Chains A and B, each alone.
Chain A
């Protein structure tokens, strides 16, 4: 006779993380994401060959960081929104929701695998691109900013995918590229709502009058809003 108990949230989260990892490894998405992550490296290589190795200058660094943000704006929807959306669309949620588990732990399990994976990919890409552009690794602060960006964009993708599982990936890309990023170039009060703007400030490469602490608080607030949306929505999703 099997022992009957309810799985702990930790156990559920780790189990979902394990399944997510297995599925990612056995699909093409990982290879596609590597190609996307290679974009800044290719850009750095192309610029250096055009400019010449003797004139490695700062204009390239701003472009490179912007391309890294673009990479994250594609990877987060591709990994996270797809992972959530396809569970609902493929109706595999019927297996999950019929188990004695807290639904948010399914989202947490997916993020536990996908966010570190994105951080590894984008850090590797950023390191290589930096090495090509400047003959050295980029500053540590930029890595922290990219890691925070990966987490925040993943939470945005989680929120949007829980609201619209079928179109989660497309809507997240549209939100990030056509709403969030343009918001970052608007006047101060509006750009506070831009995740991309806060990440740029946190990187230290684009000093902003609002400062690091303010940028960190704004980033957490934006991510928190989407986390609450996801947590509330996932409780009501029927299978």
Chain B
């Protein structure tokens, strides 16, 4: 399969501020997650692919064409920006219809396409309401509808899950999954690992404007898992849990905290198994279980060795 996107030593600066630096990357197809903390360069890369920015150096092509100068290639792109601003005076149906028309869907068919897109995003009931009264989740869905109404081959979704409540999030994830199943190539950005994991196993890690790692999320997790993985257990009897795991060879450190215990392990899978067994045996009441390593800061701390600090 020929590459949808080819970036060749592509750099972008905003004055003296770096957007992305010397990125060489190819995107084949399917869903790919762009993962990186705020300011890493995800939105810059997406905007370059959407034809909104010109590379300061190097080149970036989409379907073999320059998306900034080649109007025709933009017909194949659907883009949902990260910001919420839109033409708020319009109803959702008017907005999506106009966007479909501007993307080349003719006359009455644009309205039908807009209705179908809003339906696909679960916005059919709100289609005649003005966007200015929408919640964050509704705005995200409307944005996604504007991106898909003209049936593009390539979707660029910049932080589509930000600020959305968990129920809406699960729904949007399912709808994006359905688009991928329909054969679309999709790039989704996020700064939250589990959001990306819910959408795809193929991720590209971006940090300080550079592609830091790329591949299957499990491969990247393996990289991450080479350094001690932290598991925070909030429970009523942290010492019981600590005692059950203290002798395990994979446990590197145990730290008691105010509401529980933090365990550092070199083998997260075994640790989770033993933890579950210990909880079942002892009857300890666990109120929360989390991994601080799911936070991207810990990932970059490992991958860059500097804790994600600039």
Residues of chain A touching chain B, judged by Cβ–Cβ distance below 8 Å, are: 1-7, 11-12, 15-16, 18-19, 22-23, 26-27, 90-102, 238-239
Which residues of A sit under 8 angstroms from B99, Cβ to Cβ?
95, 99
In the bound complex, what is the Cα–Cα distance between A98 and B79 (angstroms)?
A: 7
In the bound complex, what is the Cα–Cα distance between A3 and B90 (angstroms)?
A: 25
For the complex of A and B, the 4 pairs showing the least CB-CB separation, nearest first, are A2-B151, A239-B52, A26-B89, A100-B75
In the complex, which of the residues B51, B73, B102, B109 contacts A7, with contact meaning CB atoms closer than 8 Å? B102
Which residues of B sit under 8 angstroms from A6, Cβ to Cβ?
71-72, 75, 104
> Smallest CB-CB separation from B73: which chain A residue?
A100
Which residues of B sit under 8 angstroms from A92, Cβ to Cβ?
85-87
Which residues of A sit under 8 angstroms from B103, Cβ to Cβ?
7, 99-100
Across the interface, do B81 and A96 meet the contact criterion of CB distance under 8 Å?
Answer: no
> Smallest CB-CB separation from A24: which chain B residue?
B89
Which residues of B sit under 8 angstroms from A93, Cβ to Cβ?
52
Is the CB of B94 closer than 8 A to any CB of chain A? yes
9 A-B Cβ contacts within 8 A?
Answer: A2-B151, A4-B76, A6-B75, A7-B103, A11-B106, A94-B47, A95-B102, A99-B99, A239-B53
Across the interface, do B86 and A95 meet the contact criterion of CB distance under 8 Å?
Answer: yes
Across the interface, do A97 and B51 meet the contact criterion of CB distance under 8 Å?
Answer: yes
In the bound complex, what is the Cα–Cα distance between A2 and B112 (angstroms)?
A: 10
Contact with A along B141-169 (1 / 0, CB 8 A): 00000100111000000000000000000
Across the interface, do A94 and B101 meet the contact criterion of CB distance under 8 Å?
Answer: no
**Chain A nearest CB, measured from B178 CB (Å):** 16
In the complex, which of the residues A4, A22, A96 contacts B75, with contact meaning CB atoms closer than 8 Å? A4
Across the interface, do A238 and B54 meet the contact criterion of CB distance under 8 Å?
Answer: yes
Across the interface, do A15 and B52 meet the contact criterion of CB distance under 8 Å?
Answer: no
Across the interface, do B101 and A7 meet the contact criterion of CB distance under 8 Å?
Answer: yes
> Smallest CB-CB separation from A14: which chain B residue?
B101
> Smallest CB-CB separation from B103: which chain A residue?
A99
In the bound complex, what is the Cα–Cα distance between A1 and B94 (angstroms)?
A: 21
Across the interface, do A238 and B52 meet the contact criterion of CB distance under 8 Å?
Answer: yes
**Chain A nearest CB, measured from B4 CB (Å):** 16
In the bound complex, what is the Cα–Cα distance between A92 and B143 (angstroms)?
A: 11
**Chain A nearest CB, measured from B141 CB (Å):** 15
Which residues of B sit under 8 angstroms from A19, Cβ to Cβ?
87, 90, 98
In the bound complex, what is the Cα–Cα distance between A231 and B72 (angstroms)?
A: 20
Is the CB of B50 closer than 8 A to any CB of chain A? yes
Is the CB of B45 closer than 8 A to any CB of chain A? no
**Chain B nearest CB, measured from A9 CB (Å):** 10
Across the interface, do B102 and A22 meet the contact criterion of CB distance under 8 Å?
Answer: no
Is the CB of B105 closer than 8 A to any CB of chain A? yes
In the bound complex, what is the Cα–Cα distance between A98 and B81 (angstroms)?
A: 10
Is the CB of B74 closer than 8 A to any CB of chain A? yes
In the complex, which of the residues B50, B90, B105, B146 contacts A2, with contact meaning CB atoms closer than 8 Å? B105
Across the interface, do A23 and B106 meet the contact criterion of CB distance under 8 Å?
Answer: no
> Smallest CB-CB separation from B149: which chain A residue?
A2
Is the CB of B113 closer than 8 A to any CB of chain A? yes
In the bound complex, what is the Cα–Cα distance between A15 and B146 (angstroms)?
A: 15
In the bound complex, what is the Cα–Cα distance between A16 and B87 (angstroms)?
A: 12
Which residues of A sit under 8 angstroms from B93, Cβ to Cβ?
none
Additional 9 contacts, C-beta under 8 A, given A26-B89, A94-B50: A2-B151, A3-B105, A15-B98, A22-B89, A91-B85, A94-B83, A95-B102, A99-B102, A100-B71
